[in-house]
Structure 1
Amino acid sequence: MTETTALVPVVHRTIDVDGIEIFYREAGPADAPVFLLPHGYPCSSYEFRNLMPALGDRWRLIAPDLPGFGYSGTPDRAAFSYTFDGYAGFLERFTHVMELSRYAVYLHDYGSQFGLRLAMRAPHRVTALVIQNGDIYEDELGPKYAWLKEFWAHPTPEGRAKLAANVTEEGFRDEFAGDLPAHLAARVSPDLWKLHWALMDTPQRRENVVGLFEDQATTLEWFPKEQAYLREHRPPTLILWGPHDGYMPEGSARAYLRDLPDAELHLLDAGHWALETNLGEVVPLIRDFLGRASRT
């Protein structure tokens, strides 16, 4: 018999983190095991709006909008580092301000880098990992990385202009639905790119994102460290992957098994944003996995 649960309300709050007003979504009992949900680009905590009520009966789900994204504040660059290091440090500070001592972490897109660095800084706090299209294996990067890798190797003003040209409503639409076959693309609501473009379309936010594209080159140096963390600590891990992803194809998912041979891998008929197209498959897989992980 299939388990059915009532949807749990999601609440919306703000909190001050080092002088930055941070918006976050929360669902579930205050004393339940924590599931931390850092979002990817070009999204926000909106990414998890449907997942949270489906799991909040058994877990406390917390999804912040990162600085410069969604409904959170956009501090001046003198006050916040819009780099991968800066965001990883922010996520750690967020957990301290929220007084989160133990948590499972959802690793997706840019959020996979922030979440993994959080895990590396405090391995004893991590109860489990759910990895969904977040790549850390350079040899398995997909073909859509080609233009970024070319820029990282040979940065030029023309190349930077190309980065900036991607920060548009059409660029956002391509991020959310561009790689999907028609039957999946039809499931992706235009709300995703229209909402997030409306929130991102300020000079400061657009410039911050271009700088983050540039800084993404530094993540390649982190890949071997992150792989070493996985080998050493072997956190319980569920890998949910959408292979219709020009940045992170199937090989990017299978590569994790090199360092986590006991990880549970599920390849879905999905793309980069599986929560938009395959929520009905994802929810029971996560429920089952987190339930088992909490007993180990």
Structure 2
Amino acid sequence: MSKVNTVRYGTEKVDGLDIFYREAGDPSKKAVVLLHGFPHSSHMYRDVLAALGDEYYLIAPDYPGFGDSSFPSVQEYTYTFDNFAETIDKFLIQRGLNSYVLMIQDYGAPVGYRIATKHPEKVKGFVVMNGNAYEEGLSPEGWGPIFQYWKGKTPELEAGIAGQVFSPDGLKWQYTHGTRNPDGISPDSWNLDITKFAREGQHQMQLELFYDYQNNVKLYPAWQQYLRDQQPPMLLVWGKNDAFFPEPGAEAYKRDVQNIDYNILDTGHFALEEEGEFIITKMRSFLSDRVH
């Protein structure tokens, strides 16, 4: 296999930060930008890059503080989704990407939709995996402590969230909950997360993002209007057993997007971990037939 089709790794300096990325394929071919979710990194897209680099150019960056990108303190970098989108937008511009499909999951949705509404001419379509843009897609059960946090930060709430979500068991749970075969999910992902979350300052950074997530909800109407106006082709592959973004969040896309390949999967938050072969096959067809 040609080296251009294998997964490659690098960093791009953006405003003094090293933004780590994985890429595969020939940069002259149709591009896909893969934006990861919480609590992971571009590692979640490892199989997609390895499988589709023969036909497409794929690039998956890590946000600041995630994966192998720079991890500045909360005093050095303001951890908001506005800033993530600005950093990743600059990253894409520096990499010379002016036309691409966005693959979004979890945190990738608020980052991706900010970029799309800023540059609608650049975004040629979406692959949406539990990437929410509708209030009915926020589970009160999964988001209850965060909803309380939005009303007022307290040390007790922060300790409760950290103990539940950031603990080794909490990180593992996000990959195994809702899956048909929890024993079939590789532990590599949550073990990487456990290592990264052990870094000093990581919990405070993640709490800053949890608090800022309320600003994503305020932008949902603008993102929905963007979808209605632009009508980007969309492949939706959604794990219906997600404790945070349940199936109603997927169903809501049908109101606004006409050209949608709609797939509800019997799995959890990280659908790629259990349905990777199906999703990759659907992506190849979608990118070939629906994205121009």
TM range, smaller chain: over 0.9
State the SS of the aligned residue for 1:23: strand
Q: Which moved more, 1:260-269 or 1:82-91?
A: 260-269
**Could you tell me whether the CA contact under 8 Å between 1:163 and 1:213 is conserved in 2?**
no
For residues 8 and 33 of structure 1, the distance between their equivalents in structure 2, rounded to whole angstroms, comes to: 13
Residue 154 of structure 1 and its aligned partner are, at CA, apart by 4.1
Shift of 1:191: 1.1
2:89 maps to 1:92: yes
* 1:188-219: CA deviation from partner (whole Å, max 9, x where unpaired): 11111111110221122221111111111211
TM-score relative to the length of structure 2 = 0.94
Check the 8 A contact 1:102/1:126 in 2, yes or no: yes
Listed one character per residue, the Cα deviations across residues 248-289 of structure 1 (whole Å, up to 9, x for unaligned) are 121111111111133110111221111111111111111101
Question: Is the contact made by 2:177 and 2:268 (CA closer than 8 Å) also made in structure 1?
Answer: no
Partner of 1:259: 256
Instruction: Please say if residues 35 and 108 of structure 2, whose CA atoms lie closer than 8 Å, have aligned partners that are also in contact.
Output: yes
- Whether contact under 8 Å (1:34, 1:104) holds in the other structure is yes
Q: Provide TM-score, normalisation by structure 1.
A: 0.93
Pair 1:179-2:165 in alignment: no
1:80 is displaced (CA, Å) by 2.1
Q: Give the share of equivalent positions with the same residue, in percent.
A: 34
Deviations 1:20-56 (A, max 9, x none): 1111101001211110011111101100001111111
Partner in structure 2 of residue 147 of structure 1? 145
What does residue 56 of structure 2 align with?
Answer: 59
Q: For 1:18 and 1:258, locate their aligned partners in 2 and report how far apart those are by CA, in whole Å.
A: 39
What residue is the counterpart of 1:47 in the other structure?
44
Whole-angstrom distance in 2 between the partners of 1:287 and 1:160: 42
Partner of residue 4, structure 1 = none
Q: Residues 137-156 of structure 1: CA distance to partner in whole angstroms, max 9, x if unpaired? A: 11332231222222223443
Number of residues paired by the alignment?
287
The answer to whether the Cα contact below 8 Å between 1:237 and 1:263 also exists between their aligned partners in 2 is yes
Give the residue type in structure 2 aligned to 1:88.
A
Unaligned runs of 5+ in 2: none
Give the distance between the partners of 1:206 and 1:76, measured in 2 at CA.
11
In 2: Cα distance, 1:163 partner to 1:203 partner = 17
